[in-house]
Homo-oligomer: A and B are copies of this chain.
Amino acid sequence: MDPLSFIGILIGMVAILGGNFLEGGHIGSLLQLTAFMIVAGGTLGAVVLQSPQKDFIRAIKMTPWVFMPPPVRTEEAIYKIIDWSKLARKEGLLGLETIAEVEDDPFTRKGLEMLIDGSEPETIRMIMEVDITTQESSMLAGAKVYEAAGGYAPTIGILGAVMGLIHVMENLSDPSKLGSGIAVAFVATIYGVGGANLFLLPIAAKLKSITQQQVAYYEMVLDGLVSIAEGENPRSIESKLLGYLTD
Protein backbone atom coordinates (compact mmCIF):
# COMPACT_ATOMS: atom_id res chain seq x y z
CA MET A 1 0.00 0.00 0.00
CA ASP A 2 1.33 3.39 -0.98
CA PRO A 3 -0.64 6.00 1.00
CA LEU A 4 1.11 8.89 -0.79
CA SER A 5 -0.69 8.02 -4.03
CA PHE A 6 -4.13 8.33 -2.43
CA ILE A 7 -3.11 11.49 -0.55
CA GLY A 8 -1.65 13.04 -3.70
CA ILE A 9 -4.80 12.52 -5.72
CA LEU A 10 -6.89 13.80 -2.82
CA ILE A 11 -4.84 16.98 -2.37
CA GLY A 12 -4.97 17.69 -6.09
CA MET A 13 -8.74 17.21 -6.36
CA VAL A 14 -9.48 19.25 -3.25
CA ALA A 15 -7.25 22.08 -4.46
CA ILE A 16 -8.85 22.29 -7.89
CA LEU A 17 -12.47 21.69 -6.93
CA GLY A 18 -12.20 23.65 -3.68
CA GLY A 19 -10.56 26.52 -5.53
CA ASN A 20 -13.35 26.50 -8.08
CA PHE A 21 -15.93 26.54 -5.27
CA LEU A 22 -14.23 29.40 -3.41
CA GLU A 23 -14.11 31.45 -6.59
CA GLY A 24 -17.87 31.05 -6.71
CA GLY A 25 -17.87 28.70 -9.67
CA HIS A 26 -20.43 25.94 -10.00
CA ILE A 27 -19.01 22.47 -10.22
CA GLY A 28 -21.36 22.03 -13.14
CA SER A 29 -19.38 24.45 -15.25
CA LEU A 30 -16.40 22.11 -15.04
CA LEU A 31 -18.41 19.04 -16.02
CA GLN A 32 -18.89 18.65 -19.71
CA LEU A 33 -19.33 15.37 -21.45
CA THR A 34 -18.33 16.58 -24.90
CA ALA A 35 -15.05 18.08 -23.76
CA PHE A 36 -14.31 14.94 -21.79
CA MET A 37 -15.06 12.77 -24.80
CA ILE A 38 -12.74 14.79 -27.04
CA VAL A 39 -9.83 14.88 -24.62
CA ALA A 40 -10.10 11.35 -23.24
CA GLY A 41 -10.92 9.83 -26.62
CA GLY A 42 -8.26 11.71 -28.53
CA THR A 43 -5.59 10.89 -25.96
CA LEU A 44 -6.62 7.25 -25.78
CA GLY A 45 -6.67 6.99 -29.57
CA ALA A 46 -3.15 8.40 -29.87
CA VAL A 47 -1.82 6.09 -27.18
CA VAL A 48 -3.52 3.00 -28.58
CA LEU A 49 -2.20 3.79 -32.06
CA GLN A 50 1.35 4.21 -30.83
CA SER A 51 1.65 1.30 -28.38
CA PRO A 52 2.54 -2.26 -29.30
CA GLN A 53 -0.14 -4.49 -27.83
CA LYS A 54 2.02 -6.02 -25.12
CA ASP A 55 3.20 -2.59 -23.89
CA PHE A 56 -0.39 -1.41 -23.67
CA ILE A 57 -1.47 -4.48 -21.72
CA ARG A 58 1.54 -4.16 -19.45
CA ALA A 59 0.61 -0.54 -18.73
CA ILE A 60 -2.84 -1.67 -17.67
CA LYS A 61 -1.41 -4.45 -15.52
CA MET A 62 1.05 -2.05 -13.87
CA THR A 63 -1.62 0.52 -13.00
CA PRO A 64 -2.57 -1.01 -9.62
CA TRP A 65 1.12 -0.67 -8.65
CA VAL A 66 0.50 3.06 -8.26
CA PHE A 67 -1.48 2.23 -5.15
CA MET A 68 -0.08 -1.20 -4.31
CA PRO A 69 3.57 -1.28 -5.40
CA PRO A 70 5.19 -4.72 -5.44
CA PRO A 71 7.13 -5.04 -2.18
CA VAL A 72 10.90 -4.51 -2.46
CA ARG A 73 12.51 -5.96 0.66
CA THR A 74 16.13 -5.08 -0.03
CA GLU A 75 17.32 -5.28 3.56
CA GLU A 76 15.69 -8.66 4.18
CA ALA A 77 17.17 -10.03 0.97
CA ILE A 78 20.66 -8.74 1.83
CA TYR A 79 20.68 -10.72 5.08
CA LYS A 80 19.33 -13.81 3.29
CA ILE A 81 22.13 -13.62 0.76
CA ILE A 82 24.76 -13.15 3.47
CA ASP A 83 23.40 -16.28 5.16
CA TRP A 84 23.61 -18.15 1.85
CA SER A 85 27.23 -17.07 1.42
CA LYS A 86 28.05 -18.49 4.86
CA LEU A 87 26.21 -21.69 4.06
CA ALA A 88 28.05 -21.99 0.74
CA ARG A 89 31.36 -21.55 2.58
CA LYS A 90 30.52 -24.27 5.04
CA GLU A 91 28.73 -26.86 2.91
CA GLY A 92 29.74 -25.88 -0.63
CA LEU A 93 27.47 -24.54 -3.31
CA LEU A 94 25.40 -27.73 -3.26
CA GLY A 95 24.33 -26.77 0.25
CA LEU A 96 22.11 -24.11 -1.35
CA GLU A 97 19.93 -26.73 -3.03
CA THR A 98 17.22 -26.81 -0.40
CA ILE A 99 17.12 -23.02 -0.38
CA ALA A 100 16.65 -22.78 -4.14
CA GLU A 101 13.71 -25.15 -3.92
CA VAL A 102 11.74 -22.92 -1.57
CA GLU A 103 12.73 -19.54 -3.07
CA ASP A 104 9.64 -17.66 -4.29
CA ASP A 105 11.13 -15.05 -6.60
CA PRO A 106 11.78 -16.69 -10.00
CA PHE A 107 14.74 -14.40 -10.76
CA THR A 108 16.53 -15.25 -7.53
CA ARG A 109 15.73 -18.96 -7.93
CA LYS A 110 17.15 -19.00 -11.45
CA GLY A 111 20.35 -17.45 -10.09
CA LEU A 112 20.55 -19.95 -7.23
CA GLU A 113 20.09 -22.87 -9.60
CA MET A 114 22.95 -21.70 -11.81
CA LEU A 115 25.04 -21.33 -8.67
CA ILE A 116 24.31 -24.89 -7.65
CA ASP A 117 25.00 -26.15 -11.17
CA GLY A 118 28.47 -24.69 -10.78
CA SER A 119 28.15 -22.16 -13.61
CA GLU A 120 31.02 -19.71 -14.02
CA PRO A 121 30.49 -16.37 -12.21
CA GLU A 122 30.83 -14.54 -15.54
CA THR A 123 28.15 -16.77 -17.11
CA ILE A 124 25.78 -16.18 -14.19
CA ARG A 125 26.32 -12.43 -14.48
CA MET A 126 25.66 -12.40 -18.24
CA ILE A 127 22.56 -14.58 -18.07
CA MET A 128 21.04 -12.67 -15.16
CA GLU A 129 21.83 -9.31 -16.76
CA VAL A 130 19.85 -10.31 -19.85
CA ASP A 131 16.91 -11.02 -17.53
CA ILE A 132 17.22 -7.66 -15.80
CA THR A 133 17.53 -5.71 -19.05
CA THR A 134 14.51 -7.46 -20.53
CA GLN A 135 12.44 -6.85 -17.39
CA GLU A 136 13.53 -3.24 -17.16
CA SER A 137 12.74 -2.31 -20.75
CA SER A 138 9.40 -4.08 -20.53
CA MET A 139 8.43 -2.20 -17.35
CA LEU A 140 9.67 1.11 -18.73
CA ALA A 141 7.58 0.54 -21.86
CA GLY A 142 4.54 0.25 -19.59
CA ALA A 143 5.40 3.47 -17.75
CA LYS A 144 5.97 5.24 -21.07
CA VAL A 145 2.39 4.55 -22.11
CA TYR A 146 1.28 6.88 -19.32
CA GLU A 147 4.02 9.35 -20.16
CA ALA A 148 2.89 9.46 -23.78
CA ALA A 149 -0.72 9.97 -22.66
CA GLY A 150 0.46 12.83 -20.45
CA GLY A 151 2.17 14.35 -23.46
CA TYR A 152 -0.83 14.08 -25.77
CA ALA A 153 -3.57 15.15 -23.33
CA PRO A 154 -2.75 18.90 -23.09
CA THR A 155 -2.43 19.32 -26.86
CA ILE A 156 -5.65 17.42 -27.45
CA GLY A 157 -7.16 19.69 -24.81
CA ILE A 158 -6.04 22.71 -26.81
CA LEU A 159 -7.43 21.07 -29.92
CA GLY A 160 -10.77 20.69 -28.15
CA ALA A 161 -10.67 24.32 -27.04
CA VAL A 162 -9.90 25.55 -30.56
CA MET A 163 -12.77 23.42 -31.89
CA GLY A 164 -15.04 25.05 -29.31
CA LEU A 165 -13.78 28.52 -30.21
CA ILE A 166 -14.44 27.86 -33.90
CA HIS A 167 -18.00 26.98 -32.95
CA VAL A 168 -18.27 30.19 -30.92
CA MET A 169 -16.81 32.33 -33.70
CA GLU A 170 -19.29 31.00 -36.20
CA ASN A 171 -22.15 32.13 -33.98
CA LEU A 172 -20.93 35.59 -33.06
CA SER A 173 -24.26 37.06 -34.12
CA ASP A 174 -25.69 36.22 -30.72
CA PRO A 175 -23.19 37.90 -28.37
CA SER A 176 -25.11 36.89 -25.28
CA LYS A 177 -23.89 33.33 -25.81
CA LEU A 178 -20.31 34.37 -26.48
CA GLY A 179 -19.14 34.13 -22.91
CA SER A 180 -20.66 30.78 -22.06
CA GLY A 181 -19.48 29.39 -25.39
CA ILE A 182 -15.89 30.34 -24.64
CA ALA A 183 -16.28 28.95 -21.13
CA VAL A 184 -17.37 25.62 -22.53
CA ALA A 185 -14.44 25.60 -24.95
CA PHE A 186 -11.97 26.25 -22.14
CA VAL A 187 -13.13 23.20 -20.19
CA ALA A 188 -11.32 21.00 -22.73
CA THR A 189 -8.08 22.75 -21.78
CA ILE A 190 -8.82 22.09 -18.11
CA TYR A 191 -9.31 18.40 -18.80
CA GLY A 192 -6.18 18.13 -20.92
CA VAL A 193 -3.84 20.10 -18.68
CA GLY A 194 -5.36 18.81 -15.46
CA GLY A 195 -5.53 15.20 -16.57
CA ALA A 196 -1.90 15.27 -17.65
CA ASN A 197 -0.48 17.12 -14.66
CA LEU A 198 -2.62 15.74 -11.85
CA PHE A 199 -2.82 12.12 -13.02
CA LEU A 200 -1.04 10.88 -16.12
CA LEU A 201 2.45 12.37 -15.69
CA PRO A 202 2.67 11.70 -11.92
CA ILE A 203 1.53 8.12 -12.49
CA ALA A 204 4.17 7.68 -15.19
CA ALA A 205 6.81 9.06 -12.82
CA LYS A 206 5.73 6.73 -10.01
CA LEU A 207 5.80 3.69 -12.28
CA LYS A 208 9.30 4.66 -13.39
CA SER A 209 10.44 4.98 -9.80
CA ILE A 210 8.99 1.57 -9.01
CA THR A 211 10.84 0.15 -12.02
CA GLN A 212 14.11 1.67 -10.81
CA GLN A 213 13.65 0.23 -7.35
CA GLN A 214 12.96 -3.21 -8.79
CA VAL A 215 16.00 -3.02 -11.05
CA ALA A 216 18.22 -1.84 -8.18
CA TYR A 217 16.92 -4.77 -6.11
CA TYR A 218 17.65 -7.29 -8.86
CA GLU A 219 21.12 -5.83 -9.39
CA MET A 220 21.81 -6.24 -5.70
CA VAL A 221 20.70 -9.90 -5.85
CA LEU A 222 22.81 -10.45 -8.97
CA ASP A 223 25.83 -8.86 -7.32
CA GLY A 224 25.36 -11.01 -4.23
CA LEU A 225 24.95 -14.31 -6.07
CA VAL A 226 27.92 -13.62 -8.35
CA SER A 227 30.02 -12.81 -5.28
CA ILE A 228 29.06 -16.15 -3.78
CA ALA A 229 29.97 -17.87 -7.05
CA GLU A 230 33.35 -16.13 -6.94
CA GLY A 231 33.89 -17.46 -3.42
CA GLU A 232 34.19 -14.03 -1.84
CA ASN A 233 34.18 -14.10 1.93
CA PRO A 234 30.84 -13.37 3.65
CA ARG A 235 32.14 -10.28 5.42
CA SER A 236 33.20 -8.64 2.19
CA ILE A 237 29.84 -9.56 0.61
CA GLU A 238 28.09 -7.95 3.56
CA SER A 239 30.17 -4.79 3.10
CA LYS A 240 29.27 -4.60 -0.54
CA LEU A 241 25.55 -5.39 -0.28
CA LEU A 242 24.92 -2.99 2.57
CA GLY A 243 26.03 -0.25 0.18
CA TYR A 244 22.78 -0.82 -1.73
CA LEU A 245 20.75 0.30 1.27
CA THR A 246 19.63 3.90 1.37
CA ASP A 247 18.92 5.43 4.73
Contact = CB atoms under 8 A, between A and B. Distances in A.
A240 interface: yes
Copies of this chain assembled into the complex:
5
Contacts of A56: 4
Interface residues of A, number: 118
Contacts of A244: 130, 134
Nearest to A11: B45
A134 B14 contact: no
Given A170-B180, A240-B130, A35 B19 contact: yes
Q: Label chain A's interface by main secondary structure.
A: helix
Contacts of A194: 42, 159
Nearest to A156: B197
Contacts of A33: 22
Contacts of A63: none
Contacts of A49: 4-5, 8-9, 12, 66, 198-199, 202-203, 206
